[in-house]
């Protein structure tokens, strides 16, 4: 019996199978970050047939200060709720769970779009993209934490089955987590415990906003693949702390290297990290990266690289992929 078709029950969440459509920014939002018909049509096409157990909606900015790009979706104020609700409805109508990803881009924000100064963990150049930000003050951090909580509340109001905190791909929370971009000397910098202090505060704020029964996911940019950056050991320790703090699902991707692994293009190229993390935690782990064939997804499940498998670019090219993948093993 193939694992890919097997449901996964966590007590809080039921995944009907192991396939996840990962967050993929399609840049079809309105200038105000509202969901457009173009966005709805895109997701409608990708979710048709309901073959994915879960769709994580692309990263939405939680404050204008943290906006990454011109046509990114917003979850920064209540005007975004009706559009996000329509989007959740499109996904859920297909028979797939909908989770919305919440993000602050930090030093990767586009100043020309926000009209505001770049702010990040420390005044160092972001190795992936972006400039040199101002160091966030404690008041700035408080505002970010608060904004994540408010955004999560909007996710609930829009009918999502869960929210995902974005801490990967060199965005703000990743900037705190990675020693490459966090050179703070206060309680938010230095040790791993300090570098993920903001994560714990965000999780607490989100939990307060959504209640104990609501699923909270976190996407962790586990490893940087760069000298002086985070490695697997840090990722495993962080994962355990994040689990303890109340995260329900860990979604594993890359850190300052973005969503690609500079050292490997093999299907499931973050599999080594996700496998080590999965062995250390009890909550489900999603692994994503470079999967093209259904057999590759099944092999990753079998080798314990993840409980759930994200497939993005392959599905961008072929909307019927997930249905065929499940069919292969029936």
Q: Is 97 exposed, middle or buried (0-12, 13-18, 19+ CB in 10 A)?
A: buried
Q: Which of 264, 313, 320, 323 binds ligand FMN (CB under 6 A)?
A: 313
What does the block give as tokens for 41?
């049509």
Residue 288 in the binding site for ligand FMN (CB under 6 A) = yes
Per-residue x/- mask for ligand FMN, residues 135 to 174, rule CB under 6 A? Answer: -------------------------------x-xx-----
Q: Which position among 171, 177, 214, 259 bears the catalytic label?
A: 171
Distances from the Cα of 40 to the Cα of 17, 84, 170, angstroms: 24, 9, 27
The nearest distance, CB 56 to ligand FMN, in angstroms, is 8
Cβ atoms within 10 Å of 313's Cβ, excluding its own: 14
Place of tokens 């290297």: 257
Q: How many residues bind ligand FMN (CB under 6 A)?
A: 22
The nearest distance, CB 278 to ligand FMN, in angstroms, is 17
> Under DSSP, is residue 114 helix (H, G, I), strand (E, B) or coil?
helix
CB closer to ligand FMN, 56 vs 184: 56
Residue 268 in the binding site for ligand FMN (CB under 6 A) = no
Residue 295 in the binding site for ligand FMN (CB under 6 A) = no
Q: Of 216-245, which residues contact ligand FMN (CB under 6 A)? A: 219
Cβ atoms of 217 and 292 closer than 8 Å: no
Question: Which one of the spans 92-100, 177-185, 288-296, 322-330 is the region binding ligand FMN (CB under 6 A)?
Answer: 288-296
Alpha helix ranges (H) inside 23-136: 37-47, 81-93, 111-114
Distances from the Cα of 316 to the Cα of 22, 57, 248, 249, 289, angstroms: 11, 14, 27, 24, 13
Q: Is 45 exposed, middle or buried (0-12, 13-18, 19+ CB in 10 A)?
A: exposed
Question: Which one of the spans 37-45, 90-98, 147-155, 312-320 is the region binding ligand FMN (CB under 6 A)?
Answer: 312-320
Q: What is the dihedral angle through the alpha carbons of 243, 249, 252, 256, rounded to the nearest 10 degrees?
A: -60
Question: Which one of the spans 8-16, 28-36, 202-210, 282-290 is the region binding ligand FMN (CB under 6 A)?
Answer: 282-290
The nearest distance, CB 311 to ligand FMN, in angstroms, is 5
The nearest distance, CB 313 to ligand FMN, in angstroms, is 3
CB closer to ligand FMN, 23 vs 306: 23
Residue nearest to ligand FMN (CB): 312
Catalytic status, residue 171: yes
- What H or E segment, with its residue span, contains residue 208? helix 197-210
Residue ranges of E strands in the chain: 8-9, 14-15, 19-21, 54-61, 73-74, 97-103, 119-120, 134-135, 162-167, 216-223, 249-254, 285-288, 308-310
CB closer to ligand FMN, 184 vs 292: 292
Question: Which one of the spans 20-28, 32-40, 196-204, 319-327 is the region binding ligand FMN (CB under 6 A)?
Answer: 20-28
* CA–CA separation, 273 and 236 (whole Å): 8
Closest C-alpha among 60, 92, 96 to residue 79: 60
Q: Which of 28, 52, 58, 274 binds ligand FMN (CB under 6 A)?
A: 58
CB closer to ligand FMN, 74 vs 314: 314
Which residues would be at the binding site for ligand FMN (CB under 6 A)?
A: 22-25, 58-59, 101, 166, 168-169, 219, 253, 259, 288-291, 310-314
* Residues labelled catalytic: 171
């Amino acid at each position: 019996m193939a694992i890919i078709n097997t449901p996964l029950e966590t007590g809080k969440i039921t995944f009907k199978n192991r396939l996840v459509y990962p967050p993929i920014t399609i840049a079809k939002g309105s200038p105000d970050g509202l969901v457009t018909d173009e966005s709805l049509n895109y997701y409608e096409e990708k979710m048709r047939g309901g073959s994915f157990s879960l769709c994580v909606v692309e990263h939405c900015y939680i404050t204008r200060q943290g906006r990454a790009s011109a046509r990114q979706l917003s979850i920064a104020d209540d005007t975004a709720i009706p559009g996000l609700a329509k989007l959740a409805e499109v996904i859920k109508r297909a028979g797939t769970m909908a989770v919305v990803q919440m993000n602050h881009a930090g030093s990767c924000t586009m100043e020309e779009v926000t009209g505001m100064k770049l702010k990040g963990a420390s005044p160092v150049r972001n190795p992936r993209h972006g400039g040199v930000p101002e160091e966030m003050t404690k008041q700035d951090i408080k505002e970010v934490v608060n904004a994540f909580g408010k955004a999560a509340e909007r996710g609930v109001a829009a009918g999502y089955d869960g929210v995902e905190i974005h801490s990967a791909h060199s965005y703000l929370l990743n900037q705190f987590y990675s020693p490459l971009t966090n050179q703070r000397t206060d309680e938010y910098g230095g040790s791993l415990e300090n570098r993920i202090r903001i994560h714990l505060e965000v999780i607490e704020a989100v939990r307060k906003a959504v209640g104990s029964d609501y699923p909270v996911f976190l996407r962790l940019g586990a490893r940087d693949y760069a000298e002086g950056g985070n490695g697997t050991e840090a990722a495993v320790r962080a994962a355990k702390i994040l689990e303890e703090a109340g995260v329900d699902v860990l979604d594993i991707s890359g850190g300052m290297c973005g969503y690609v692994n500079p050292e490997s293009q093999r299907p499931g190229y973050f599999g080594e990290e996700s496998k080590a993390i999965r062995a250390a935690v009890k909550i489900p782990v999603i692994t994503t990266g470079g999967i093209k064939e259904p057999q590759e997804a099944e092999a990753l499940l079998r080798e314990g690289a993840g409980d759930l498998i994200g497939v993005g670019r392959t599905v961008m090219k072929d909307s019927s992929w997930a249905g065929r993948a499940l069919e292969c093993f029936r």
